[in-house]
Amino acid sequence: MREGWYLMNTQELERALAAWRSGESGEFGVALSVDEALHRRNDGNIPDEEDRSLRLVLVVDDEPVEKKRLRYEPDFHAAPKWRRDGSRPVNVVPLRTPGEPRGPVQPWWEMPRVRELEQEWRATGIVAGMRVPADYRSFVFKTVIALQDAGQEVTPTTVGDSIARWLSPDDARKVRESLESKGPGD
């Protein structure tokens, strides 16, 4: 398996990951070009007759995964206007090379930069000028950092758009409404 877009079902993904871990080579699912994958995504990423949907395989190395993802999906922080009934979110599959040391194991709230946002949130309930719902704060904090790293503006709209890729439309709406509120009593 190599870095890039694939059309895979869960069983193909499981076989591909097992082969990767054991050092075996092989192709699983259907490899797609960036243009083919984005076209399929923009058509809704509806599973095919074999229950395949889009998987973006990224090799973990010195380059941040979010930066790599921008090469394959330049608009991944934008609202997923392509989603509709039956759509699946894009599944990002990070692969570590054999023998590659893992990053430090720590809770998300202790990660550098995230820790600072967590402390700000605990003190005020607000991060980057937005009221952040407790249940979704890890999504919001990581999204704020990813937007900053991508040089994009951090607003309730940009954060809500980016988060909408991973949440159900109803949950995304709730988060967006909270981010757009001014605080208690508005």
Write the DSSP string, 3-30.
SEEEEE-HHHHHHHHHHHHHT-----SE
Which of 39, 64, 96 terminates a domain? The answer is 96
Query: What's the pLDDT at 103?
Result: 59
Which of 42, 75, 96 terminates a domain? The answer is 96
Give the structural domain span for 70.
Answer: 4-96
- Do 90 and 160 have their domain in common? no
- Do 83 and 116 have their domain in common? no
- Do 72 and 31 have their domain in common? yes
Cβ atoms < 10 Å from Cβ of 118: 20
The answer to whether residue 169 is domain-embedded is yes
- Do 8 and 73 have their domain in common? yes
Q: Flag residues of the chain having pLDDT under 50.
A: 184-186
Write the DSSP string, 59-108.
EESSS-HHHHHHHH-TTTTS--TT--TT----EEEEEEPTTPPPPP---G
- Do 125 and 74 have their domain in common? no
Please give the helix or strand (H or E) that residue 127 lies within, else none: strand 126-127
Contacts 24+ apart (CB under 8 A), 143-152: 143/77, 144/117, 145/113, 145/114, 145/117, 146/66, 146/77, 147/77, 149/64, 149/66, 149/67, 150/66, 150/67, 150/70, 150/77, 152/77
Query: What's the pLDDT at 104?
Result: 57
Query: What's the pLDDT at 184?
Result: 46
Structurally, the chain folds into a number of domains equal to 2
Which of 31, 62, 96 terminates a domain? The answer is 96
- Do 89 and 112 have their domain in common? no
The pLDDT tens digits of the residues spanning 111-152 come to: 888 999 999 999 999 999 999 988 888 889 989 998 998 888
Contacts 24+ apart (CB under 8 A), 117-126: 117/141, 117/144, 117/145, 125/183, 126/183
- Do 130 and 176 have their domain in common? yes
